[in-house]
Chain A
Amino acid sequence: MTTKFTPDHEYIRVEGSTGIVGITPYAQEQLGDIVFVELPAVGKALKKGDEAAVVESVKAASEIYAPVTGTIVEVNSLLTNEPGLVNTDSEGAGWMFKIAISDASELDTLLDADGYAELTL
């Protein structure tokens, strides 16, 4: 199981051919209290970099982009009523959607944990 990161502060945790996507603890801290999460429809096909979800915090609304090309297979519907999960546990219970990865080689273009840590110094 590997986790990769985008420069836009999404993480993708790879489990087999599926990736679990959310925003990093750094991103949730920058955004402040999240008050609304808009999730994609299951079955939606997305290209790498397409807008997949929207998070709204007390400070700003931000788009969440698909870190890889693929199809949405599941969304975290708990976030509809409890958007604060993104703040309390962004990498665990605050995940946003699962995507069936079309092309695993796209993962190689993303940052690893060290590369991402360097970015947010």
Chain B
Amino acid sequence: MSMNTQGRPTGVGTVGTGASGSALIPDEPLLFEIGDTEHSGVDLPDVTFNSDRLGGFGRKTKLDLAGLTEPEAMRHYVRLSRMNHSIDSGMYPLGSCTMKHNPRLNEKMARLPGFSDIHPLQPVSTVQGALEMMNQLSHWLMTLTNTAAVALSPKAGAHGELLGMMAIKAAQEAKGEAHRTVVLVPESAHGTNPATAAFLGYTVKPVPAKDDGTVDVEAVKAALSPDVAAIMLTNPNTCGLFEPQVIEIAKAVHDAGAFFYCDGANFNAIMGVVRPGDLGIDAMHINLHKTFSTPHGGGGPGAGPVVLSEALAPFAPVPFVRKGTNGLELVEHIEDAALGRVTAFHGQMGMYVRALTYMLSHGGDGLAQAAQDAVLNANYIKARLEHIFSVPFPDYPTMHEALFDDSFLKETGVSTLDFAKALIDEGFHPMTMYFPLVVHGAMLIEPTESESKQTLDRFCDVMAELANDAIAGNKDRFTSAPTKAPRRRLDETRAARQPVLKWEKPADLPQTAE
């Protein structure tokens, strides 16, 4: 097979027989390698312009896009999708990602023309149904969290997190407390938390975790000072534990004049069971794409609404929906607003419909049961595997995810990474690895409520069998894995050190020998 300088095979439909690919899953060429830039896949009549009205900015060079027919393009993407592992093809127990099933009812609702065929600039009198949907979703989110306001528009969890922290910053400034420049972040928090604080110009002060994996209220008190603007806590934390002292922590934080930001990425463990507002949180983002189904994981778009307490509600960004004299209206501008608008339009409408569909089809009691089932499933995995795998924090039952460390792999020559790769050969997406950082060689498994007992049993059987095989010294099975996936082990080091970010025309390259 001929290769271009990047080591990619060239030519159409090249069937790999060597290091990668198999007879049934051929290496997939790039679109540029299927079509060429000299031909077009569609016939368009010539257009004559009198004036292009581009003021001289019209493109003067060739666009050089590959010309493909619709079936060629379609087949390319379908073939690629068959190499992918998705929640629709198998269990996807990636910790802290809540890879739950996306019910097809969500898709049916999101495709209703009243939601899918409208334009953000339409007169509000013609989109009352869509506004009512946003209004109901806001109501559900505020009710589930017991908070005073919600900004729906953030496009992802990290975006909502940033806005929550911007609201906190604005509130501190409004109080004349702009000198508060420190944000406390416990070691068991999500990685985005310190990044968000640093992005806003705050100095991040870590709070050490206790030996049992939870945050110590005394350590928080010791870290609090008149410089502290907020704490960013993840609850349940990334060790899968519910913070037992969260209410005391909230009180200490408020007494010190600071705000309490809670990372809501793990809300699936407590939705419908615990209202974060009752714990004293001031702001929390909610990943609609995790907790309330919707497609995600490199697939669908995200949506990260942020809920705000009474104290922060005046600093919420626009737009939001409110009841007016002529029905619902969308508030898009406020004089002297602290934050103003944070997205081009109103956010991810399709995600809103899917999340609200999930809520309405479950009901309040159904959401609580989903959370309880998710916790039950994680504890089932922990109980079935803890005699082989090492549990770093055995003092508490786990919440929605089970955490193991790599001490059972000691002396085997098999790393957490090797172990995860071997799981691919067994048909499972690996768990989250090497996170949280407070645990050596962490493996974080989140089954969600979607998986049946049969699937959990099969997963546990495979995990136990792999662990026993590693301990028995069958190292090759792990270091050579994956052997059954469309690709062999990727060279992550080379990919990071010498990334290939641009396609080059093989014709422009020196000819390589066949």
Give Cα A35 to B496, complex, Å. Answer: 6
Q: What residues of chain A lie closer than 8 Å to B434, measured between beta carbons?
A: 59-60
Closest B-chain residue to A59, C-beta based? B434
A84 proximal to B (CB < 8 A): yes
Q: Mark B213-236, 1 if CB is under 8 A from A, else 0.
A: 000000000000000000000000
Give Cα A36 to B496, complex, Å. Answer: 8
Give Cα A84 to B493, complex, Å. Answer: 9
A19 proximal to B (CB < 8 A): no
Q: In the complex, are the beta carbons of A35 and B437 less than 8 A apart?
A: no
Q: In the complex, are the beta carbons of B437 and A60 less than 8 A apart?
A: yes
Give Cα A56 to B492, complex, Å. Answer: 12
Q: Mark B414-437, 1 if CB is under 8 A from A, else 0.
A: 000000000000000000001001
Q: Mark A51-64, 1 if CB is under 8 A from B, else 0.
A: 00000101110000
A10 proximal to B (CB < 8 A): no
Closest B-chain residue to A35, C-beta based? B496
Q: What residues of chain B lie closer than 8 Å to A59, measured between beta carbons?
A: 434
Q: Mark B473-498, 1 if CB is under 8 A from A, else 0.
A: 00000000000000000001100110
Least Cβ–Cβ distance between A14 and chain B, in angstroms: 29
Q: What residues of chain A lie closer than 8 Å to B437, measured between beta carbons?
A: 60
Closest B-chain residue to A82, C-beta based? B497
Q: What residues of chain B lie closer than 8 Å to A60, measured between beta carbons?
A: 434, 437
Q: What residues of chain B lie closer than 8 Å to A94, measured between beta carbons?
A: none
Give Cα A83 to B497, complex, Å. Answer: 8
| Number of residue pairs A-B, CB distance < 8 angstroms | 18
Give Cα A33 to B434, complex, Å. Answer: 14
Q: What residues of chain A lie closer than 8 Å to B496, measured between beta carbons?
A: 33, 35-36, 56, 58
Give Cα A36 to B437, complex, Å. Answer: 19
Least Cβ–Cβ distance between B163 and chain A, in angstroms: 25
Closest B-chain residue to A36, C-beta based? B496
Give Cα A33 to B497, complex, Å. Answer: 10
Least Cβ–Cβ distance between A87 and chain B, in angstroms: 9
Q: Mark B40-79, 1 if CB is under 8 A from A, else 0.
A: 0000000000000000000000000000000000000000
Q: What residues of chain A lie closer than 8 Å to B492, measured between beta carbons?
A: 33, 58
Q: What residues of chain A lie closer than 8 Å to B497, measured between beta carbons?
A: 35-36, 83-84
Least Cβ–Cβ distance between B272 and chain A, in angstroms: 35
Q: What residues of chain B lie closer than 8 Å to A58, measured between beta carbons?
A: 492-493, 496
Which residues between 491 and 514 of chain B lie within 8 Å of chain A, taking CB atoms?
492-493, 496-497
Least Cβ–Cβ distance between B17 and chain A, in angstroms: 29
Give Cα A36 to B497, complex, Å. Answer: 7
Which residues between 50 and 93 of chain A lie within 8 Å of chain B, taking CB atoms?
56, 58-60, 83-84
Closest A-chain residue to B493, C-beta based? A33
Least Cβ–Cβ distance between A54 and chain B, in angstroms: 12
Give Cα A84 to B491, complex, Å. Answer: 14
Closest A-chain residue to B434, C-beta based? A59
Least Cβ–Cβ distance between B369 and chain A, in angstroms: 37
Q: Mark B433-469, 1 if CB is under 8 A from A, else 0.
A: 0100100000000000000000000000000000000
Q: What residues of chain A lie closer than 8 Å to B493, measured between beta carbons?
A: 33, 35, 58, 84
Give Cα A33 to B491, complex, Å. Answer: 11
Give Cα A60 to B437, complex, Å. Answer: 9
Least Cβ–Cβ distance between B475 and chain A, in angstroms: 18
Q: What residues of chain B lie closer than 8 Å to A33, measured between beta carbons?
A: 492-493, 496
Give Cα A83 to B437, complex, Å. Answer: 23
Give Cα A33 to B493, complex, Å. Answer: 6
Least Cβ–Cβ distance between B397 and chain A, in angstroms: 29
Give Cα A84 to B437, complex, Å. Answer: 23
Give Cα A12 to B493, complex, Å. Answer: 27
Give Cα A83 to B53, complex, Å. Answer: 50
Give Cα A36 to B499, complex, Å. Answer: 12
Closest 5 CB pairs of A and B: A35-B496, A33-B493, A58-B492, A35-B497, A59-B434
A-B contact sample (9 more), CB < 8 A, given A36-B496, A58-B492, A60-B437? A33-B492, A33-B493, A33-B496, A35-B493, A56-B496, A58-B493, A58-B496, A84-B493, A84-B497
B residues apposed to A, CB below 8 Å: 434, 437, 492-493, 496-497
18 pairs of residues in contact across A and B, judged by CB atoms under 8 Å: A33-B492, A33-B493, A33-B496, A35-B493, A35-B496, A35-B497, A36-B496, A36-B497, A56-B496, A58-B492, A58-B493, A58-B496, A59-B434, A60-B434, A60-B437, A83-B497, A84-B493, A84-B497
